[in-house]
Amino acid sequence: MKETEIYLCEICGKMVEVLHDGSGELVCCGQPMTLEKAKVDDSNAAEKHVPSAKRDGKRVEVTIGAVEHPSEREHYIEWIETTQGNRTKRVVLQPGDRPIAEFCVEDGPALVRTYCNLHGLWKKEI
């Protein structure tokens, strides 16, 4: 499944999602932006970030963390998304929001990604 690339500015925190490939380098605050690599294993981490999904037909409920992820101003899940084929659906969260989102998906595999403001990008195929 094709994932869009996510880049982060290490200085100001600006995040860029690349929708179309092109030549050239993404630069912010005078330096190249960092490509975020999605992590898939949080077994050695104190907080859990790998998305967990319950599927009921076309309905999918995504929860972040085996133990619900914190949702405080200093540490929270910024967004949760599903991608299936050429469709991506994203729920943007704020501090205080529970790290849960519901999506409607088609039959077949889907990719779930989430972004933690402290621990970066995580993914799981469902």
Cα four-point dihedral sign 92, 111, 42, 38: negative
pLDDT by residue (tens digit) across 39-60?
Answer: 998 777 666 888 999 999 999 9
Position 87 scores a pLDDT of 92
pLDDT by residue (tens digit) across 71-96?
Answer: 999 999 999 999 998 899 999 999 99
How many domains, in total, are found in the chain?
Answer: 2
CA–CA gap between residue 65 and residue 75 (Å, rounded): 13
Position 1 scores a pLDDT of 62
Position 44 scores a pLDDT of 73
Provide the residue range defining the domain that includes 119.
51-125
Q: Please report whether residue 44 resides in a domain.
A: no
Position 68 scores a pLDDT of 82
pLDDT average, residue stretch 90-105: 96
Is the domain of 63 the same as that of 28?
no
Is the domain of 68 the same as that of 24?
no
